[in-house]
Amino acid sequence: MRKDLGKQPALFPMPVLMVAAYDENGTVQVMNAAWGMICDMDKVALFIDEDHATTKAIRQTKAFTVSIADREHMDVADYYGIATGNKLPDKFAKSGYHAEKSAHVNAPVITEFPVAMECELAEITETENLHAVVGNIVNVSADEKVLSENGKVDPAKLDALIFDQFQAGYYVAGEKVGNAWNAGKELVKAAQGK
pLDDT one-digit tens code per residue, 169-185: 999 987 888 999 999 98
Are 85 and 106 a contacting pair, CB within 8 Å? Answer: no
Q: Which residues contact 157 (CB under 8 A, 6 or more apart)?
A: 145, 146, 147, 148
pLDDT one-digit tens code per residue, 95-154: 999 999 999 999 999 999 999 999 999 999 999 999 999 999 999 999 999 999 999 999
Of all helices (H) and strands (E), which one includes residue 37?
strand 36-40
How many whole angstroms separate alpha carbon 28 and alpha carbon 113?
15
5 in any annotated domain: no
Percent of the chain exceeding pLDDT 90 equals 89
For the chain, the average pLDDT equals: 95
DSSP secondary structure code for residue 144 in this structure:
G
Per the structure, the complete domain to which residue 19 belongs is given by 14-191
9 in any annotated domain: no
1 in any annotated domain: no
Percent of the chain exceeding pLDDT 70 equals 100
Are 46 and 36 a contacting pair, CB within 8 Å? Answer: yes
Q: Which residues contact 107 (CB under 8 A, 6 or more apart)?
A: 20, 21, 22, 61, 63, 64, 65, 101, 118, 119
52 in any annotated domain: yes
**Domain at 164, CATH number:** 2.30.110.10
Nearest Cα neighbor of 68 from 146, 185, 122, 165 is: 146
pLDDT one-digit tens code per residue, 4-16: 999 999 999 999 9
2 in any annotated domain: no
8 in any annotated domain: no
Verify cis geometry, omega within 30 degrees of 0, for the bond prior to 13. Answer: yes
Kindly state the average pLDDT of the residues 77-91: 94
153 in any annotated domain: yes
Q: How many domains does the chain have?
A: 1
37 in any annotated domain: yes
